Structure 1
Amino acid sequence: MQPRPVVLATFNARFAHASGALRCLQANWTGPRPLVLVEGTLEDDPVRFAERLLAENPALVAFSVYLWNVRLTEHTVRVLRRVRPDLPVIAGGPEMATDQTGPELAHLVDLAVVGEADLAFGQLCEDVLSSASGVRRPAAVLPPPDLSQVRLPVDAFTDLDLAHRVCTVETSRGCPMRCAFCTAAGTGVRRFPTDRVLAQLEALWDRGLRRFKFLDRSIHHGDFEPVLDFFLERTEPVFVHFELTPHRLSTALAFHLAEFPPGSLQLEIGVQTLDHEVSGTIGRPFSNVIEETLDFCVNQTDAHVHADLIAGLPGETLESFAAGFDQLHSLGVHEIQLGILKRLRGTGLCGLMPAGQFNPEPPYDVLFTDTMSFEDMQRLKRMGRYWDLVANSGSFRETLSLLLKDSPFHSFLTFSDHLFSTARRTHGIELNRLSEYLCDYLCEVAGCSRPDVLAALEADYLRCGRTSRPAFMQKPGSRTPPPPSKPPGSPRPPRQRRHN
């Protein structure tokens, strides 16, 4: 008779995301029991998810927990405790990092795991299963494993994953920088053997994967050229996402990035702040070549460039943040991700800023700082959401040019304030309705001529291949033009295509 399985579970942000953490554990599983993966999304009902878990008749359930799913995981564990109080439960992941209080979830499970459990997970499960029922164990704080011994999850991705989901790969773990807000600060960089990384990429390619998202903190660290060569040697279309820090690019790295054909490369550049003093406060080395690096990526490569800024860093004011935003926008990056500072467990930020300045509930985002009011932080949060809908989406490239004046930041912040006062929400705004909000603002508040605004909106609709028009854009007797043809077999996501 086959023993009852260990069930690995998590809630992903959406179905399109395949949990890399679960698949790493699966790839390195050596326990005597079968291992079953059960994934849900943040929209799942915890009672129904618990039912799915129990349907596997598990001997033990282990959850992967992170910032966005911790409360949903807690709810699910509480349900399991009532329905099956004898069922052992383990939880690990970034949210289980130790600090003065620890997450509430740590007190609900039989074992909290802190650190990378690739090699230790099987033994941890057996230890819990062999211990007395209901006896909580001290948190297992694991040292970083030797990556030469860790198997990469080539076979853990199913054909369904490869065809329909974002599959993540990694060549290294850790980061050499010591940014106060980051969970990887000062951990150093450890690398998987290059030959095994290339073998993983080859295997995934042979199985049909054409969209690769790398988890490495930056391709600056280590010899990344063989990985870039792997993709440059392929003739079929591919889409690859890399992260890098805005430091000087080596000649070899710059040459390789410039070789990628249009539509095949996305670079996510962690700028975070353009204020020298703020950068020093958070322990982040300030790069004097930020503009040079961004200019190269935007103008000397065919990459889609996505730059990150964090609002709410200690010492940052609304005006200094505005200056950084405008400076970044002037460099022509395709997307500016306006993020909000979060107080993550185990980071240096916990000793740098008072806990009382942050939301006590996940995602632990900053509410106010010594230099930025609660009201302005709320405005920036809304602006970040609306900027993503209007600018980062690529849906309103022509219309945006009418909106942004001398200071793109202040122009858009003013629009954001107006939009929120009108719509009273930041989510669930349908595209045609958003178009109407833009039209009304530009015509009635910004003083643009209605024909110019309608012409810009029409150009955006045509460029994006939209086949319907809201009533305010339709002319009597007009017919909707056919959508433009799409490049055959392109793995590039629609969002990136809209920026062309």
Structure 2
Amino acid sequence: MASIVITTLNARYIHSAFGLRYLYANMGNLQADTELLEFGIQQRPIEIVEKLLQQQARIIGFGVYIWNVAEITAIVSILKQVAPEIVLVLGGPEVSHPPDLPAVADLADFIITGNGEISFPGLCKQLLAGVKPEQKIVTGETAPLATLASPYPHYTDTDIRQRIIYVEASRGCPFKCEFCLSSLDTTAKPFALDTFLREMETLYQRGARHFKFIDRTFNLKVDSSVAILEFFLAHLSDDLYLHFEVIPDNLPERLKQAIKQFPPGVLQFEVGVQTFDPAIQQLINRKQDNQKTQANLSWLRQHSNAHIHADLIAGLPGDTLGGFGASFDQLIALNPQEIQVGILKRLRGAPINRHNQDYQLRYDPNPPYTILHTRDLGFADLQRINRFARFWDLIGNSGRFAATLPLILADRPFARFMQFSDALYALTDSTWQIALKRLFELTYTAMIETLGVPSADTLVNLATDYQRSGEKSPPKFLQTTGTVETKRGVANKRQKQYL
């Protein structure tokens, strides 16, 4: 049993709540009386309430994010009915920007905005001593990074075996991109490098091999970036995996030389391109050298083994369907392994909200608050892009259609894949729960009937991809003549003509 419970709901079991571990590490003499509990958004709220009540806590603190606010609202609502004596404290990005607060804020006893490592333990001490602050909203206190206790010892052995290990070498961001909450930061502050690397050594010795850096600008300070990469080069193993979010236009030679030394399968770079449109970049205060971005992405693909996950955002103020398509075409020409087609979401407190009136930005009132309409992109356009994004994940990002994708895209990638996406949706009236075999069959139909790809070419490439898929029974397009083995032989024979 514990007097204090800190908890949140993760999107998936493999994720771990890094913020909770920071809170727990900094509870001071209250740590022994604090329990850290994690749940998943797939769990039923009433069952989570039951588990929380088993702790017989006097205070429960929730980490509230855009992906779990609906579920936490349900949990808090039930708790207020069955255990109104428990003090409920909310923290996290979703409740850190009053007066722009979600409905769950009305149910909470207290809200901590911003950083909670100092303010949450302080509030708990007051409450446990019988002192109730007059103000419901507590402004989180920012402490020097060197004074914070480390969260890393609070990853359990189970976490290390089964979950992603989140780490941060720096906190904050110096850039002012208005769609991002990090634009509210004044700068990026590094943790002491020697101390950080000692923590990484300890985690590595405990068996951690999957490290996800949450730094918004990993390659901002090149000396530190190179030192961290060199640390992991000295700890290379077959199962080592490193994820970094990098600035696309800052890749000096020293950093390139370190990156080149990593073998395949170790480095993943999340590269936020977002848009190549200079006018939109200026409007949302995004400082990005497009020429350097293109050159760096090209270099990474040609001279490194890094896996590139590049992001674009649809629905930015001033963007059009054609303009977004132009950014997509520029990005796909650089050949990243993945392109994440993201849809703009309304983040509470983000400066981009200043454009809501002028650019008629209208968002879904339900989380995750996806853009529904803009001055330049109607609801129907954004629905098409949403479907495009889903089918792109299934076809473009999955890697299952490596031979077929070039035929779909040809010389007009965005326009043709949009046609293809529209055709798939017309055939299915759905973007979800499409079995892989069925997806191959739908792709065959759409390529021939909508894109006009010759049936022989379509057959050769789809048959090649299907053979690699691991599926056992053949799709209809491989059953039209002869046995499966005969069709595979024909496909292989035809394929040689294209090599």
Q: CA–CA distance in 2 between the matches of 1:435 and 1:189?
A: 46
Contact 2:220 2:247 in 1 (8 A): no
Q: CA–CA distance in 1 between the matches of 2:227 and 2:209?
A: 18
In the comparison of the two structures, how many residue pairs are matched? 478
Structure 2 counterparts to residues 264-303 of structure 1, below 5 A: 264-287=266-289, 288-303=291-306
Structure 1: 5+ residue stretches without partners? 482-500
SS in 2 for 1:77: helix
Structure 2: 5+ residue stretches without partners? 489-499
The structure 2 residue matched to 1:339, chosen from 320, 339, 342, is 342
- Matched with 1:19 is 17
- Matched with 2:44 is 45
Contact 2:341 2:389 in 1 (8 A): yes
| Percent of residue pairs identical | 37
Matched letter for residue 95 of structure 1: E
Contact 1:111 1:128 in 2 (8 A): no
Q: CA–CA distance in 1 between the matches of 2:24 and 2:487?
A: 50
Q: Deviations over 1:189-238 (max 9, x none)?
A: 01111111101110111111111111001222222211111111124121
Contact 1:109 1:136 in 2 (8 A): no
The structure 1 residue matched to 2:426, chosen from 416, 421, 433, is 421
- Matched with 2:229 is 228
Scaled by the length of structure 2, what TM-score is found?
A: 0.91
Q: Deviations over 1:473-496 (max 9, x none)?
A: 456364999xxxxxxxxxxxxxxx
Change (3 A) 1:55 1:455: farther
Scaled by the length of structure 1, what TM-score is found?
A: 0.91
Moved more, 150-159 or 405-414: 150-159
- Matched with 2:401 is 396
SS in 1 for 2:245: strand
Q: CA–CA distance in 2 between the matches of 1:473 and 1:147?
A: 61
Q: CA–CA distance in 2 between the matches of 1:442 and 1:477?
A: 21
The structure 2 residue matched to 1:255, chosen from 254, 257, 261, is 257
- Matched with 2:209 is 210
- Matched with 1:433 is 438
Q: CA–CA distance in 2 between the matches of 1:297 and 1:276?
A: 23
- Say if 2:106 is the partner of 1:107: yes
| Residue 451 (structure 1) shift | 4.2
Q: CA–CA distance in 1 between the matches of 2:361 and 2:287?
A: 27
Change (3 A) 1:401 1:129: same
SS in 1 for 2:404: helix
Q: RMSD between aligned alpha carbons?
A: 2.1
SS in 2 for 1:302: coil
Change (3 A) 1:61 1:468: farther
Change (3 A) 1:457 1:380: same
Change (3 A) 1:466 1:173: farther
Q: Which has the higher helix share?
A: 2
The structure 2 residue matched to 1:29, chosen from 27, 30, 45, is 27
| Residue 460 (structure 1) shift | 2.0
Q: CA–CA distance in 2 between the matches of 1:221 and 1:356?
A: 32
Contact 1:9 1:62 in 2 (8 A): yes
- Matched with 1:489 is none
Structure 2 counterparts to residues 337-376 of structure 1, below 5 A: 337-354=340-357, 357-376=362-381
Moved more, 400-409 or 117-126: 117-126
